[in-house]
A and B are shown apart, each in its own frame.
Chain A
Amino acid sequence: MLSGRLGATLLRITPRRRVSIFSKGGWRWLGLVCLIALPTLVPIIAVFGGAFNADPELLQHLQQYVLPRVALNTFLLVVGVTVLAGSLGTALAWLIAVYDFPGRRYLSWALLLPMAVPGYVMAFVFIGLFEFAGPAQTLLREIFGSSLRVPSIRSTGGVILVMSLTLYPYVYLIARNAFLTQGRQALEVGLSLGLSRRRAFLRVALPLARPWIAGGVLLVAMETLADFGTVAAFNYDTFTTAIYQAWFSLFSIGSAMQLASLLIILALLLLLTEQALRGRARYTSKASTTPPRIRLRGAHALMASIGASSVFALAFVLPFTQLLIWAVQSISIELNVSYIQATLNSLMLAAGAAGLITAMGLLLSYTRRRRLDLAGRAMARLATIGYALPGPVLAIGIFVPLASLSNTLTAWLPQGSGVITLQTTLLTLMLAYAARFLAVGHTPVQANMQRLTPTLDDAATGMGVTGWRLLTRLHLPLLRGGLFTAATLVFVDVMKEMPITLMTRPYGWDTLAVQIFELTAEGQWQRAALPGVVLVAAGLVPVILLTRRGEKSGAA
């Protein structure tokens, strides 16, 4: 119905034959998908394999005393964060992409900055400021008397709020891309059909942007499932904390793996939900002239400015200022040359991973463009599931098999000729990052790829452009926006990553996140502010570059 109305801008993909292993050259595509999925498959197999060694008595204990609580907590958290981060990200993206109001140009990129603040840092700052003992409540008690009781930040609502503030940029970034390229057209079509602005947004623009929003929200939901740092700061128990407890406190790897398998199943359910939300329709669009932004005036302009600025203030200015204050206080004891090396290491690892993972994400999109058969599609989805798994599960799921492989290889070497340690090379580190972050490198590219109508490919194929050249000559230039988004998201995520880096880094590859770990492991949060500030500042560079580009291509 919708596609009929908007026939001018939308085309429905004509179904084509699916690629299976039996079709001509099909094994190559499936092989490529499997290769991309391999780093993720190894730990998943390790998890399901380990789950069979669980101690039944312990499992009964977990079922009775731990699972009901963590299942409810996890459910509330995922629903709360996806709803809050999803609506915050979508609303801000719509505001920035379609309207013009004072401060819009600067808010357009400023609203992305909270992404660079690690969740555990945000959590610590918020708890520090708003807990009973914090300055905000202390001030209130001084004004209104000591009997004053305000809701605690250390609550389900608090953890949802803090997590949403760090994660909404994923939705914002991807949805803004969608609205910038088609939002204003959609609005114009809606208005021309006699709808109000609000209804044009709800009835036309929002459904059209659904694949993008769903993609962003899926990333948020997966990251929420995997998070340990933020929930640990709130002492809010989820599946992830239960895995940690079974593993490191009860020393039962079997039970930990069993819990982790449940988490994998949950993540699969999320993927299916997203698929369902996305609907059967596939959207492509033709480039056409974009109408100008609608200029807001008076009270509306003021409300837009204040609304967007306050999100920015709460999610970035506040935590960053607090970090700066602490950093200044601890600079004399903390600053030394090792910071330069750690910063360089962080930047190099993040850049290398961003290149590698974005390339993998692109290849995955390219293969998904061949209409794969069921096995191929399942494998393609499975490849991105690592984003929902806690870092340590992936780290150990990759480390342990590689260590065994190295030991086997070493046994083949002549005596005394050295030891092979594949498990602590940068290759392993990169593969582990890929297993964890492929979803981030793939989703934005995939969103763009879906918009390229297959008739483009048909036309190019007709002119003899196929395979690698089709990808580099035709798709790459059209996917620029998505690729830069993907690379930036991966870059920022790798900068913040902790458990994988800790476990598989080779000697001498300490990063800023490792330094933060060193200090926070025994609660020295104030001293950790200095590496925290450097981490945020270094993570900002690509975010700002990205938004500059986004602005340009959006305006063009």
Chain B
Amino acid sequence: MPETSKLSSVIAFFLILASIVTLSGCGQQQDDSNSITVYSARQEHLIKPLFDRYTEETGVAIRYITDSAGALLQRLGAEAQNTPADILLTVDAGNLWQAAQQDALQPINSPTLEEHIPKYLRDPDNQWFGLSVRARTIVYSTDRVKRAELSTYAALAEPQWRNRLCLRTAKKVYNQSLVAMLIVAHGEEQAEKIVKGWVNNLAAPPFADDVAVMNAIVAGQCDVGIVNSYYFGRLQKDDPEIPLALFWANQTQDGVHVNVSGAGVTRHSNNPEGATKLLEWLSAGEAQGLFAALDLEYPANPKVKAAPLVRAWGEYRPNVINVAKAGELQATAVKLMDRAGYH
């Protein structure tokens, strides 16, 4: 039957293809001792330009693989002493704190990093260092809100904002860190009252991302929201006339809630010196400026200037409680938000 032999050959072709594809991956690549492997939850287009430049300057090859922070951490744990990773690069202090907690990182002994990165933006045991800073603050409609009406995160729970507030989902780690910091400032009971007040004031169910929050404000669905500074930067870059502005929250209290993207050297790195050198390089000079500017964030190193668009938002006083606290209180914050009906 010619039909059958044709079909068998199609199947044989697929099986052979499958096995070639499979076997091609089995060859073990021996790490050359100089190269550095990075597990990154920060997106490729934000890190690749920097890694390319480092390779150009130093000749050190950098391999990286991207995934979400939780998966990468799981991966480090499972691979244990045989992990190819030298550096874990991720966003949010909560994730970094968890990595340190799970023994995935090792303390870095680097006077350079300690000099470049302020204390509150790094692990108390120097297991990780913040490399860029994002402020999570209030954004408002310049058409319908006066600056004088705004003051603190907690004040957004007051009745004057009934049906005027928009928030992103509580499942995003950025909001979990923010609420963790509310717990630090006000205690758990009071923080829960504040979050309940927010939920009461919501003009729409929580949105899946910060950009949607700002779009809703522009469209008139609500008047105020809480977003990360770089999301606002992106919108402003596309449309400089957008009727929105950032307000630096809590300036007369504990300061604006900031978070970091940061990195640490893995516990079982084969090349901890090389990895530390890369982090030192990233923490200063042009590299540090570019690391922040690519995502419209603030440099973690106070000596390095932010991008002009970012600088135009003005100076702010950050909350200088160690960002690691956000990790410590993350589970408490999540449960608090569940109880408050913030989803």
Indicate if the CB atoms of B66 and A514 lie closer than 8 Å: yes
Indicate if the CB atoms of B334 and A476 lie closer than 8 Å: no
Indicate if the CB atoms of B28 and A418 lie closer than 8 Å: yes
Size category of the binding interface on chain B: 35 or more
Cβ of B78 under 8 Å from chain A: yes
User: Could you say which residues of chain B place their CB within 8 Å of the CB of A506?
Assistant: 25
Cβ of A351 under 8 Å from chain B: yes
A522 to chain B, nearest CB (A): 6
- Chain A 230-247 near chain B by CB (<8 Å), digits 1 or 0: 001111010001001101
CA distance A201 to B98 in the complex (A): 59
Q: Which of B139-147, B187-195, B216-224, B247-255 contacts A (4 or more CB under 8 A)?
A: B216-224
User: Could you say which residues of chain B place their CB within 8 Å of the CB of A499?
Assistant: 71
User: Could you say which residues of chain A place their CB within 8 Å of the CB of B3?
Assistant: 477
Contact pick for A61, options B78, B169, B338, CB 8 Å: B338
Contact pick for B205, options A235, A355, A425, A476, CB 8 Å: A235
* B-contacting residues, A205-253, CB 8 Å: 232-235, 237, 241, 244-245, 247-252
B262 to chain A, nearest CB (A): 16
User: Could you say which residues of chain B place their CB within 8 Å of the CB of A514?
Assistant: 66
- Given A152-B204, A348-B21: A132 touches B171 (CB 8 Å cut-off): no
Size category of the binding interface on chain A: 35 or more
Indicate if the CB atoms of B28 and A359 lie closer than 8 Å: no
CA distance A424 to B41 in the complex (A): 18
Cβ of A309 under 8 Å from chain B: no
CA distance A36 to B79 in the complex (A): 26
User: Could you say which residues of chain A place their CB within 8 Å of the CB of B211?
Assistant: 523, 525
- The residue of chain A having its C-beta at the shortest distance from the C-beta of B11 within the complex is A359
CA distance A80 to B245 in the complex (A): 41
Indicate if the CB atoms of B28 and A419 lie closer than 8 Å: yes
B288 to chain A, nearest CB (A): 20
Indicate if the CB atoms of A133 and B219 lie closer than 8 Å: yes
Q: Report how many A-B pairs have Cβ atoms within 8 Å.
A: 192
User: Could you say which residues of chain A place their CB within 8 Å of the CB of B234?
Assistant: 524
CA distance A430 to B20 in the complex (A): 12
Q: Which of B80-88, B103-111, B125-133, B298-306 contacts A (4 or more CB under 8 A)?
A: B80-88
B228 to chain A, nearest CB (A): 9
Q: Which of A103-111, A379-387, A397-405 contacts B (4 or more CB under 8 A)?
A: A397-405
Cβ of B4 under 8 Å from chain A: yes
- The residue of chain B having its C-beta at the shortest distance from the C-beta of A521 within the complex is B43
A35 to chain B, nearest CB (A): 15
CA distance A251 to B75 in the complex (A): 14
In the complex, the 9 A-B pairs of residues with the closest C-beta atoms, listed nearest first: A355-B14, A426-B25, A133-B219, A248-B70, A403-B78, A133-B215, A523-B209, A65-B338, A352-B18
Beyond A245-B334, A250-B334, A421-B82, 4 extra complex contacts between A and B, CB < 8 Å: A232-B171, A406-B82, A503-B75, A521-B41
Q: Interface of A with B (CB < 8 Å)?
A: 58, 61, 65-66, 69, 127, 131-133, 137-138, 146, 152, 154, 232-235, 237, 241, 244-245, 247-252, 348-349, 351-356, 358-359, 392, 395-396, 399-400, 403-404, 406-407, 410, 418-421, 423-427, 429-430, 472-473, 476-477, 480, 487, 499, 502-503, 505-507, 509, 514, 517-519, 521-525
Q: Interface of B with A (CB < 8 Å)?
A: 1, 3-4, 7-8, 11, 13-15, 17-18, 21-26, 28-30, 41, 43-45, 63, 65-71, 74-75, 78-82, 84, 98, 101, 169, 171, 173, 176, 204-212, 215-216, 218-221, 231, 234, 295, 330-331, 334-335, 338-339, 343
